[in-house]
Copies of this chain bind each other. A is one copy, B any other.
Amino acid sequence: MRAAVTGRPGRIRSSAARHAILEATRDELAQRGYDKFSVERVASAAGVGKQTVYRWYPSKSALVADCILLGYLRTPGIETPDTGDVRRDITGWAQTFAEISTQPEAVAIALAGTAASAEDSNVAARYHEQIVALTESALSDRLQQGERAGQLKAGVPARTVAETIVGALLYRLLTRQPLTTEFVEELMVVVFDGIQS
Contacts and interface: CB of A to CB of B under 8 A. Distances in A.
User: Taking the full assembly, how many copies of this chain does it contain?
Assistant: 4
B186 A192 contact: no
A150 B153 CA distance: 24
A124 B87 contact: no
Interface string A153-197: 101110011011011111110111000000100110111111111
Contacts of A155: 189
Nearest to A197: B153
A143 interface: yes
A128 interface: yes
Contact of A168 (B87, B150, B163, B175): B163
Interface in A113-145: 114-115, 117-121, 124-125, 127-128, 132, 143
Nearest to A194: B194
A103 B124 CA distance: 19
Contacts of A191: 164, 190-191, 194-195
Contacts of A166: 171
A17 interface: no
A23 to B, nearest CB: 22
B117 A195 contact: no
B175 A117 contact: yes
Given A35-B35, A150-B197, A164-B164, A176 B121 contact: yes
B157 A186 contact: yes
A97 interface: no
A62 to B, nearest CB: 13
